[in-house]
Amino acid sequence: MNIAFSSYRMMNRITSIIAPSWTAKKALLKFLTPRRSPMKPWEIQAEGKGTRFNLTDNVSAIRWLPEDKNIKPTKKVLLVHGWESRATHMYGFVPQLLQQGFEVIALDMPAHGCSSGSMTDAYEFSQTVLLAEKLLGSFEAIIGHSMGAGAANFAIAKGLASEKLVLISGPSSIENVLKRFARYLGLNTNAVNFFITHCGNFIGQKTENLDLKTLKIRPEIPTLFIHDRMDFEVPISESERMLGVFTNAELFVTEGLGHRKILKSELVLNKISSFMLGDNLPASLSIE
């Protein structure tokens, strides 16, 4: 933790005591404004292999199709990235999915990647997933990472017709996400409570209602949870908490990949490939 951020947290601790609501609003603005980073060379190559299109005036997406023109995909897979990420970060899954004959579509969520906007939230993520289904038709599967995994799950609870889910390093509760972030910024308990309330007011939803364990979902949908034991951004307890909600789910646990390297792990890619081919198991635990 650098000196500047340590000083920022210390200031938040002080202002949390003096003006907890103001401190919470300031922190929420930071939380809802994702940072954008330059594309890396491998992402530019991945972008070039697909076709960029506008889902709406505000939401950009990429479509990848099999290089073999004789392969005519009949099913689609939707990739949903996480917070402060973008569509190209999900490219690791694309080659194997194309080999299996899928059309692959990845979204740049609002205020991310090539999509417009400067602020967004988890609820808008889920609404964007639902919009993709409305405009593009149903998907064989949704593969989501981090906030994208949570968004896919929320969308299922709101009627998304996907036949399979792959949820990687995802949260089960928006309140849990908010609490972790607020405490990371140094807010005290009183300010954390204001932070959660202000967030609910901003998105127009009570955050306690955005808990995947209590929402009415489709428990029978084949679901593959993937999480690393050393994930310090979204702890594995979030996936473990969700596992029992589904009746046809598996938790695949990795070791030492953290929150982001998990997207490029060969074992993870192969596990997803097997899952997509229909090699589904009842609720169980696997370790990489």
Report the b/e string of 44-77 with b at 16+ CB within 10 A: eebbeebeeeebeeebbbbebbbeeeeeebeebb
Query: How far does Cα 75 stand from its chain's mean position?
Result: 22
Contact 252, 225 (CB under 8 A): yes
| Alpha-carbon span 206 to 125, nearest angstrom | 16
Other CB atoms within 10 Å distance of the CB of residue 106 = 27
- Where are the domains positioned within the chain? 1-31+180-210, 49-173+214-287
For 281, residues 6+ apart whose C-beta sits below 8 A from its C-beta are: 250
pTM confidence score: 0.91
Residue whose entry in the numeric block shows the structure tokens 């949908």: 221
Q: What is the pLDDT of residues 256-276, one digit of tens each?
A: 999 999 999 999 999 999 999
Paired sense of beta strands 223-228 and 249-254, if any: parallel
Tokens of 155: 């969308």
Residues facing 161 on adjacent strands: none
Tokens of 40: 């890396």
What's the distance, Cα to Cα, between the start and end of the chain in Å?
30
Q: What architecture does CATH give domain 49-173+214-287?
A: 3-Layer(aba) Sandwich (3.40)
Length of the chain, please?
288
pLDDT truncated to tens, each residue of the chain (288 aa)? 678 888 989 998 999 999 999 999 999 999 999 999 999 999 999 999 999 999 999 999 999 998 877 777 889 999 999 999 999 999 999 999 999 999 999 999 999 999 999 999 988 999 999 999 999 999 999 999 999 999 998 898 888 989 999 999 999 988 889 999 999 899 999 999 999 999 999 888 888 777 877 777 778 899 999 999 999 999 999 999 988 888 899 999 999 999 999 999 999 999 999 999 885 444 444 444
Residues facing 236 on adjacent strands: none
Residue whose entry in the numeric block shows the structure tokens 């990472």: 145
Paired sense of beta strands 51-54 and 60-64, if any: antiparallel
**Residue 287 burial by Cβ neighbours in a 10 Å radius (0-12, 13-18, 19+):** exposed
